[in-house]
């Protein structure tokens, strides 16, 4: 869990994913010799801050978004949201501007939100939740499990992955914008059009902590049923614990694939958390484990 903890602390809100990209490039460099298959990497010019790894002869691509929610400093320490963070008074935010490091608490005044800080912070400075990583026998708790855990899952998978594509995407929390061209590249270069979305979902009335990784049947978008049925069929034949989710709201990189000019099939598969989009996101270890197991099976059989 050291890897996950490290990643939860990296400052990389939507638009500033470069730090996460560099962390992952270094991780790959340091670890790929222990991987069953060495991947081909695509990144840099034409890829913005995204990163694609191609293993063997792929038929399916995993999308895990690098970015987190956060805030942008506006005028006079007013802050505006990046994505949809919780904004309760007292939440501690951190960042850095031209003067130095910043740490201060959220204050709500009327319908505006501020950071309580003794000087005026540079316009456009981004702020993220201060990390407080907690672990016990059953649970992991921290900000940004969404989606550093989805990234962690994909990286763990790399150790044994023989055939498949791993995509680290950007801007997922704030309107998207990378998955269209990443999907285009993959579809055109590798002929792959099956996607799994490695991301974190919600504990709800129908989805419980500790009952396994979630296969989402729909959220605000509806994936093609025949593809999702194929996945469920494989999952049922495996012995991996999983839960089925049905939501009418929420979305993921799957929505962006759906709306792109390429015929992607996609399915969201990830562990559930509560305290969503807060500094206290909490995930059951069993669900992290079943997520990895499920991805292993699916990447072999799909």
Binding residues (CB under 8 A) for a second copy: these are 14-16, 18, 46-49, 72-76, 80-82, 123-124, 126, 171, 174-178, 180-181, 183-184, 193, 204-206, 217-218, 220-226, 228, 244-248, 255, 258-263, 265
Query: Rounded to an integer, what is the distance from CA 48 to the centroid of its chain?
Result: 17
Is residue 142 a contact partner of residue 133, using CB atoms and an 8 Å limit? yes
Extract long-range pairs of 85-94: CB within 8 Å, 24+ residues apart: 85/129, 85/277, 85/278, 86/277, 86/278, 86/279, 87/113, 88/278, 91/129, 91/278, 91/279, 92/129, 92/130, 92/279, 93/127, 93/128, 93/129, 93/130, 94/11, 94/127, 94/128, 94/129, 94/130
How far is it, in rounded angstroms, from Cα 101 to Cα 25? 26
Q: Shortest gap between Cβ of 24 and a second copy (angstroms)?
A: 17
Strands of the 194-198 sheet, one edge to the other: 40-43, 51-55, 164-169, 60-65, 194-198, 265-270, 213-218, 242-246
Tell me the closest approach of the beta carbon of residue 110 to a second copy, in angstroms. 14
Nearer to a second copy, 45 or 137 (CB): 45
Least distance (Å) between residue 176 CB and a second copy:
7
Least distance between a second copy and beta carbon 137 (Å): 28
Nearer residue to a second copy within complex by CB, 58 or 161:
58
Least Å distance, CB 195 to a second copy, is 13
Q: Which is nearer to a second copy, 67 or 199 (CB)?
A: 67
**Which CB contacts under 8 angstroms, 24+ apart, belong to 230-239?**
230/302, 231/196, 231/267, 231/269, 231/298, 231/302, 234/297, 234/298, 234/301, 234/302, 235/294, 235/297, 235/298, 238/293, 238/294, 238/297
What separation, in Å, do the N-terminal and C-terminal C-alpha atoms of the chain show?
A: 28
For the CB of residue 276, give the shortest distance to a second copy in the complex, in Å.
Answer: 18
Q: What is the DSSP letter of 15?
A: T
Q: Which is nearer to a second copy, 159 or 225 (CB)?
A: 225
Nearer to a second copy among residue 105 and residue 208 (C-beta): 208
Using the minimum distance from each CB to a second copy, give the nearer residue, 1 or 18: 18
Smallest separation, CB 31 to a second copy (Å): 26
Please, which residue, 73 or 288, has the CB nearer to a second copy? Answer: 73
Return the number of the residue (142 or 274) whose C-beta is nearest a second copy: 274
For the CB of residue 174, give the shortest distance to a second copy in the complex, in Å: 5
């Amino acid at each position: 869990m050291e890897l996950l903890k490290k990643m939860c602390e990296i400052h990389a809100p939507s638009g500033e994913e470069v730090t996460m990209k560099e962390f992952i490039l270094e991780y790959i460099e340091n670890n790929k010799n222990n991987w069953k298959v060495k991947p081909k990497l695509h990144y840099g010019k034409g890829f913005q801050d995204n990163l694609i790894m191609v293993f063997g002869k792929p038929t399916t691509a995993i999308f895990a978004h690098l970015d987190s929610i956060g805030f942008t400093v506006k005028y006079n320490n007013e802050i505006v949201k990046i994505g949809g963070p919780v904004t309760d008074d007292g939440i501690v935010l951190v960042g850095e501007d031209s003067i130095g490091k910043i740490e201060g608490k959220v204050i709500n005044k009327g319908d505006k939100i501020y950071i309580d800080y003794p000087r005026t912070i540079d316009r456009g400075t981004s702020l993220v939740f201060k990390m407080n990583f907690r672990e016990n026998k059953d649970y992991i708790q921290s900000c940004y499990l969404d989606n550093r855990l989805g990234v962690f899952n994909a990286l763990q998978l790399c150790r044994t992955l023989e055939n498949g594509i791993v995509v680290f995407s950007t801007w997922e929390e704030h309107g998207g914008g990378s998955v269209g061209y990443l999907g285009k590249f993959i579809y055109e270069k590798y002929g792959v059009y099956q996607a799994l979305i490695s991301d974190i979902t919600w504990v709800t009335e129908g989805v419980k902590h500790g009952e396994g990784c979630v296969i989402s049947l729909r959220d605000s978008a509806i994936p093609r049923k025949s593809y999702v049925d194929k996945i469920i069929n494989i999952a049922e034949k495996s012995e991996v614990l999983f839960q089925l989710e049905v939501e009418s709201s929420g979305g993921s990189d799957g929505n962006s694939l759906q709306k792109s000019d390429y015929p992607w099939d996609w399915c969201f598969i990830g562990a559930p958390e509560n305290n969503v989009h807060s500094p206290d996101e909490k995930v059951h270890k069993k669900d992290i484990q079943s997520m990895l197991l499920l991805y292993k099976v699916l990447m072999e059989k799909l």
